[in-house]
């Protein structure tokens, strides 16, 4: 009898709510089968029930099909609490490592739900190279265009960006990339949602999921003291740097949106002064993004080796790096717009922004969207009667 069989039978003999037998695992990928294996052990143990949403969702299932595994993997925030608390973690023979098993499945979901799938697979294999090559290639293209248009060095009176690249040209370049990112992400999240529809979303479920997304509730370790990163100590640093990055990105996006409204509705084109709304939003968002991404990169370097999937690390660092390059080049552009380097800085910034949006549907950003969808699925599911009906016997 395997150690897993023994554990499950012991739990059943103690009268716990654990399954009385081991449910056969349906054919899945190796990573998905590993999640199903560790969750069967967790379902017998249940020590981590209060840590996050994954464990209460797990207890509503006795076996774990492909769709269950993908849902639970995207519900996991990789806080590490269940690894550092686990008595069956390596070097125990059960080798239970929930965060890594979940991370490996999430990596698969990036390409499984991605649209078009070939781009998802390409990014999964070469995330870091692709992101850097795209940012570098696009920046070079913009530099070449600037050099042909009026010169790459020398400055422009009043720091006017549109003297380097006319407004309509920038719109023509960005609109397709932005619309492609929205379309690809929309198709991806629709595929994820349709893999298992939990029911209709009530207002209460939507409100709870929104609250949990905006607060990153499940990076608090379940006790409010924060997650584990490098070791057994709890830290709020990951949650704070995530918040700085997320809200910094939103402020930058809001700055661009307000500037667009100014341009088209008020007939007030850029450049804007330091006390205008687009500038205030852009500066505060840019600073938050720089601090947040530098902090996330530092934490990523220090992450406990058992807690991460090494194949995913280049993708994570590519996304953090592109966000940092976008924010830092945006701030440098603001400071240096009156200098001779305006066209050069503008080319680098535009290349970084386009590369960021073009790769968004295939990596860490997509995970944020899938995780939000998984939190909404959970908020709907928990309001419904359990399918197990264990109390009706």
DSSP lists the bridge partners of residue 79 as none
Whichever of 162 and 246 has its CB closer to ligand SF4, that residue is 246
Q: Which is nearer to ligand SF4, 143 or 366 (CB)?
A: 366
Binding residues (CB under 6 A) for ligand SF4: these are 41-42, 45-48, 51-52, 54, 76-82, 85-88, 96, 98-99, 102, 218
Closest CA to 204 of 56, 380, 369, 375: 380
> Exposed, middle or buried, 139 (CB in 10 Å: 0-12/13-18/19+)?
buried
Specify the residue, 73 or 251, whose C-beta has the smaller distance to ligand SF4: 73
Q: Which residues of 176-191 are buried (b: 16+ CB within 10 A; e: fewer)?
A: ebbeebeebbeebbeb
- The encoded tokens of residue 185 equal 């992400």
Per the structure block, which two tokens stand in for 214? Answer: 């905006």
What is the C-alpha to C-alpha distance for residues 260 and 372, in angstroms, rounded to an integer? 28
Shortest Cβ 305–ligand SF4 spacing (Å): 15
Q: Whole-angstrom Cα distance, residue 282 to residue 190?
A: 31
Task: Note whether 158 and 271 are within 8 A (CB).
Answer: yes
Q: How far is the CB of 86 from ligand SF4 (least distance, A)?
A: 3
Q: Which is nearer to ligand SF4, 72 or 181 (CB)?
A: 72
The enclosing H or E element of 258 equals helix 237-265
Least Å distance, CB 55 to ligand SF4, is 6
Nearer to ligand SF4, 67 or 202 (CB): 67
Of 91 and 273, nearer to ligand SF4 (C-beta) is 91
Compute the least distance from the CB of residue 307 to ligand SF4, in Å.
8
Minimum distance, C-beta of residue 140 to ligand SF4, in the bound complex (Å): 40
3-class secondary structure, 266: coil
CB of 192 to ligand SF4, least distance (A): 18
- CA 70 distance to own-chain centroid: 15
H helices within 15-97, ranges in order? 30-45, 54-58, 66-75, 81-84
């Amino acid at each position: 009898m395997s150690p897993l069989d023994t554990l499950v039978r012991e739990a059943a003999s103690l009268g716990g709510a654990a399954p009385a037998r081991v449910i056969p695992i349906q054919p899945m990928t190796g990573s998905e089968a590993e999640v199903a294996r560790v969750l069967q052990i967790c379902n017998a143990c249940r020590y981590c029930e209060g840590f996050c949403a994954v464990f209460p969702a797990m207890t509503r299932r006795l076996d774990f099909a492909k769709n269950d595994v993908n849902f639970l993997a995207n519900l996991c925030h990789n806080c590490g609490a269940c690894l550092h608390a686990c008595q069956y973690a390596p070097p125990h023979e059960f080798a239970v490592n929930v965060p890594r098993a979940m991370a490996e499945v999430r990596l698969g979901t990036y390409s499984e739900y991605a649209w078009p799938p070939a781009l998802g697979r390409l990014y999964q294999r070469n995330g870091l190279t692709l992101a850097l090559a795209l940012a570098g290639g696009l920046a070079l293209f913009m530099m070449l265009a600037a050099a042909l248009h009026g010169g790459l060095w020398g400055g422009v009176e009043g720091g006017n960006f549109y003297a380097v690249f006319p407004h309509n040209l920038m719109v023509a370049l960005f609109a397709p990339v932005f619309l492609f990112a929205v379309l690809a992400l929309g198709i991806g999240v629709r595929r994820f949602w349709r893999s298992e529809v939990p029911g209709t979303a009530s207002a209460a479920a939507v409100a709870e999921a929104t609250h949990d997304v905006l607060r990153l509730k499940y990076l608090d370790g379940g006790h409010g003291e924060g997650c584990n990163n490098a070791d057994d100590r709890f830290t709020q640093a990951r949650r704070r740097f995530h918040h700085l990055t997320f809200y910094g990105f939103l402020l930058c996006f809001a700055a661009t949106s307000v500037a667009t409204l100014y341009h088209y509705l008020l007939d007030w084109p850029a450049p804007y002064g330091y006390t205008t709304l687009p500038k205030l939003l852009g500066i505060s968002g840019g600073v938050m993004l720089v601090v947040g991404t530098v902090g996330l990169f530092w934490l990523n370097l220090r992450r406990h080796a058992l807690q991460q999937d090494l194949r995913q690390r280049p993708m994570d660092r590519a996304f953090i790096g592109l966000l940092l390059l976008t924010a830092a080049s945006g701030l440098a552009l603001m400071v240096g717009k009156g200098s001779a380097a305006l066209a050069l800085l503008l080319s680098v910034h535009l290349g970084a922004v386009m590369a960021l949006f073009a790769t968004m549907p295939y990596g860490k950003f997509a995970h944020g969207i899938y995780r939000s969808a998984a939190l909404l699925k959970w908020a709907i599911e928990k309001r419904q009667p359990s399918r197990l009906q264990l109390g009706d016997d």
